[in-house]
């Protein structure tokens, strides 16, 4: 997926929006769970504080009873093994309560109304006392909750004032570790991150899939635009089963292609009419000049002028014919009469007819053909014109006593027919332009070899119409190699 594509940008947009939503929801979920855990911890602290205060008051009650006459009698009976003291029962209950409430891991101390420590748990240290003094705001009148931190461990604490034996006011400071809650929150964060990543990956894949489905008409339009040329302007995209916006886009594209088809048809018709209209008066002028040349009363100077005019008229007629053929090649493929031909025999026929041209300049012409038939599907008339054009150019630009070789090579289900000469060669800068219409190579040290600049353009157009191409390699003063590539029929 390309980063500049709509699919990529849409997927990133969807994923970004979803990421923001998930992040906000996750933060809300995390803070909500943490608040619930903290509130539950505060409720537990209040319960534990109430239990501790209840046991302290129970101890106070037992102490008063033991100091009374009934208490002394109870001690005596207890020493005789006949009764069990209330203090022993409460001690046992206190131990069980400590285990059930988990007070062994908690930190607590009892302060007087003046802030003096009266009692503290066994796991309290002097350093922890200082932490309590610094982080608990001592107030003997109000119950409040506080967060404490000691040795990188977070605690949730409560400062809870109470009356002992309904007389003295004391303050119970109790702190419970938040390690279990923090572990739970850490697991929750890990689960949230893992879930967000999984959802984002699924969203990216699903977003790419859905975007591909949504943008399929755009892809179809792109493919159609790449495939449509002046040769198949009758192509149209289907307008059914599309979203409204895509349907409008496809309709606009089809209407544009329809207008282009009409424009190309007008251009083609105009070119054909112009060519025919030009050929008719030129043919008449040519006939009149030929009649005048045949007249014995025509002066010699006039005949010379007429011969020059006839040459230019012939050149104009050839140019018009080539332009008309190029127009048909570009806009109408039905001008070809395709048939199966043997390329080996076809090239041999080209070779036999080309020897006459080569002999006039004493050029050695050689054919290197393959053994056995090589079948291609082609229009022999137009394809013959391609090879004669290339061979004629090779003869024209090769000095006397030079060499021209016609060879054929078969590979990758294609035939590579090369016309190699030892001529003047072509500049590297001109090699990319020689197939342009009306482009002609002119050199200061060379004569004008004539031609209308349409031969190579026409030859390549015919080759491409046959599913092939023409390529060139050349060096100045060393010669050129023109290679015609044509597809081979399966044997």
- Residue-level pLDDT at 331: 56
Cα–Cα distance measured from residue 352 to residue 365, given in angstroms and rounded to the nearest whole number: 10
Give percent above pLDDT 70 in the chain: 82
| Same domain membership, residue 407 and residue 261 | no
Within a 10 A sphere around the Cβ of 280, how many other Cβ atoms? 10
pLDDT reported for residue 82: 44
The answer to the question of residue 222 being in a domain is no
- For residues 321 and 352, the answer to whether their CB atoms sit within 8 Å is no
Most distant CA atoms of the chain, gap in Å: 176
Q: What pLDDT does 241 receive?
A: 67
Given a cut of 80, is residue 177 above it in pLDDT?
Answer: yes
Its pTM stands at 0.49
Residue 309 lies in a domain: yes
Query: Do the domain assignments include residue 425?
Result: yes
Q: Are strands 403-411 and 364-368 parallel, antiparallel or unpaired?
A: parallel
One domain, residues 301 and 438 = no
Q: What pLDDT, on the 0 to 100 scale, is given for residue 376?
A: 95
User: Looking at the domain assignment, is residue 197 inside a domain?
Assistant: no
Is 264 found in the same domain as 300? yes
In a domain, 14, yes or no: yes
Same-domain pairing of 82 and 168? yes
Least confident of 168-177, 196-205, 315-324, 391-400: 315-324
Domain endpoint, select from 185, 206, 227: 185
**What domain count does the chain have?**
3
The answer on 345 and 323 residing in a single domain is no
- Mean pLDDT score of the chain: 80
Whether 117 is in a domain gets the answer yes
Is 76 found in the same domain as 117?
Answer: yes
Does any domain span residue 103?
yes
Whether residue 70 is predicted with pLDDT greater than 50 in this model: the reply is no
> Which pLDDT belongs to residue 444?
36
Which is nearest to 239 in space by CA: 251, 228, 257? 251
Identify whether residues 113 and 56 lie together within a single domain. Answer: yes
User: For residue 312, is it left (φ>0), alpha (ψ between -120 and 50) or beta?
Assistant: alpha
Domain hosting 258: range is 244-331
Alpha helices per DSSP H over 68-125: 69-79, 86-101
121, 131 Cβ separation under 8 angstroms:
no
Whether 403 is covered by a domain: the verdict is yes
Last residue of a domain, one of 159, 185, 211: 185
* Predicted pLDDT at 442: 62
Domain containing residue 456: CATH number: 3.30.565.10
Confidence of residue 72 (pLDDT cuts 50, 70, 90): very low
In the three-class reduction of DSSP (H, G, I as helix; E, B as strand; rest coil), residue 233 is classed as coil
Distance between CA atoms of 367 and 350, rounded to whole angstroms?
10
Q: Which of 41-55, 269-283, 361-375 has the lowest mean pLDDT?
A: 269-283
- Say yes or no: 181 and 38 in one domain: yes
Judgement on whether residues 171 and 30 belong to the same structural domain of the protein: yes
Alpha carbon of residue 165 to chain centroid:
79
User: Is pLDDT above 80 for 104?
Assistant: no
| Shared domain check, 169 and 28 | yes
| Domain stop point among 274, 297, 331 | 331
Is the confidence at residue 401, as pLDDT, over 80? yes
pLDDT value of position 362: 92
Instruction: Give bridge partners of residue 163 from the DSSP assignment.
Output: 169
Give mean pLDDT, residues 141-152: 84
CA distances for 53 relative to 49, 50, 104, 182, 380, angstroms: 6, 5, 16, 28, 115
In the prediction, which pLDDT does 292 show? 81
Clarify whether residues 180 and 255 are in a common domain. no
CATH number at residue 147: 3.30.450
Give the closest residue to 274 by CA, choosing from 230, 327, 336: 327
């Amino acid at each position: 997926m390309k980063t500049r594509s709509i699919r990529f940008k849409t997927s990133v947009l969807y994923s970004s929006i979803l990421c923001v939503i998930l992040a906000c929801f996750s933060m809300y979920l995390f803070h909500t769970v943490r608040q619930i855990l903290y509130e539950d911890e505060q409720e537990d602290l209040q319960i534990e504080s109430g239990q501790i205060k209840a046991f302290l008051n129970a101890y106070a009650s037992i102490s008063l009873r033991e100091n009374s006459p009934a208490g002394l009698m109870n001690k005596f009976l207890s020493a005789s093994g006949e009764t069990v003291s209330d203090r022993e029962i409460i001690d046992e209950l206190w131990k069980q309560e400590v285990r059930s409430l988990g007070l062994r891991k908690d930190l607590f101390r009892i302060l007087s109304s003046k802030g003096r420590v009266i009692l503290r748990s066994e796991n309290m240290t002097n350093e922890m006392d200082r932490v309590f003094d610094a982080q608990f705001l001592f107030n003997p009148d109000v119950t409040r909750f506080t967060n404490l931190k000691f040795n990188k461990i977070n605690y949730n604490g409560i400062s809870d004032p109470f009356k002992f034996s309904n007389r003295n006011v004391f303050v119970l400071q109790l702190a419970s570790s938040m390690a279990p809650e923090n572990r739970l929150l850490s697991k929750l964060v890990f689960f949230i991150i893992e879930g967000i990543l999984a959802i984002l990956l699924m969203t990216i894949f699903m977003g790419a899939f859905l975007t591909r489905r949504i943008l399929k008409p755009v892809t179809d339009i792109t493919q159609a635009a790449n495939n449509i040329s002046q040769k198949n302007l009758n192509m149209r995209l289907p307008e059914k089963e599309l979203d409204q916006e895509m349907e409008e886009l496809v309709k606009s594209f089809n209407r544009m292609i329809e207008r282009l088809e009409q424009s190309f048809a007008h251009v083609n018709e105009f070119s054909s009419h112009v060519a025919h209209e030009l050929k008719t008066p030129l043919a008449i002028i040519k006939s009149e000049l030929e009649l005048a040349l045949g007249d014995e009363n025509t002066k010699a100077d006039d005949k010379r002028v007429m011969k020059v005019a006839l040459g230019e008229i012939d050149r104009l007629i050839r140019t018009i014919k080539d332009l008309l053929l190029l127009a048909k090649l570009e806009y109408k493929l039905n001008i070809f009469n395709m048939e199966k031909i043997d390329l080996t025999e076809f090239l041999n026929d080209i070779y036999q007819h080309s020897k006459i041209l080569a002999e006039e300049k004493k050029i050695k012409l050689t054919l290197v053909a393959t053994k056995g038939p090589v079948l291609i599907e082609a229009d022999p008339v137009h394809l013959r014109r391609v090879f004669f054009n290339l061979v004629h150019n090779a003869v024209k630009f090769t000095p006397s006593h030079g060499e021209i070789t016609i060879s054929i090579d078969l590979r990758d289900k294609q035939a590579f027919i090369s016309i190699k000469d030892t001529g003047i060669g072509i500049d590297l800068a001109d090699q990319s332009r020689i197939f342009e219409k009306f482009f002609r190579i002119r050199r200061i040290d060379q004569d004008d070899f004539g031609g209308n600049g349409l031969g190579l353009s026409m030859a390549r157009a015919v080759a491409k119409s046959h599913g092939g191409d023409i390529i060139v390699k050349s060096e100045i003063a060393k010669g050129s190699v023109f290679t015609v590539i044509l597809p081979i029929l399966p044997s």
